[in-house]
A = this chain, B = another copy of it.
């Protein structure tokens, strides 16, 4: 009933995070409707993702041909101030502020069970070795982990893992978000804003 190419597309696409089989099926028919030229364009845009590599120092992506990602290969960035992020998209959000002049370290999505997975442990080990080779201790490690219960738990775990690796370990400040309204802020946020008033 459903043509084979659509079935195959739906099976693959529905495996991607946050896309269900229904959305995948609608997408398939939508793409068929767009026609050859646009299908080609999309297929080659996906194919081009193969050209990306993961930076061996920070695990952010970069275009193959370069030796490291654009942050790690930038000599003006402080190598001894290291911001640990969960996701590449978190890194991008921080970079957009243009207020951070250190380097990053991408840890990967943190699990909800409050334990680091094997890849995350390997990555943290790699970070420890980098810090050791770079002079013994980093000046600062910033844990840019979401300010949630799970985030707090994971931040503690990571702090313990990186014990003795940095002169200080910090987290991003908590308080009222710009544009937020005091009336609607939750208790935790208000308490943090009070404690950290400036």
Query: Which residues on A are within 8 Å of B, measured CB to CB?
Result: 1-6, 8-9, 12-13, 16-18, 22-23, 25-33, 36, 39-52, 54, 61-63, 70, 87-89, 92, 95-96
Contacts and interface: CB of A to CB of B under 8 A. Distances in A.
Contact of A45 (B5, B44, B48): B5
A32 B61 contact: yes
Given A2-B92, A3-B62, A6-B61, A47 B41 contact: no
B63 A22 contact: no
A47 B43 contact: yes
Contacts of A16: 27, 30-31
Contact of A89 (B17, B22, B54): B22
A110 to B, nearest CB: 15
B89 A52 contact: no
B87 A45 contact: no
A17 B23 CA distance: 9
A111 to B, nearest CB: 16
Nearest to A46: B43
A46 to B, nearest CB: 4
Given A25-B89, A25-B92, A36-B50, A5 B70 contact: no
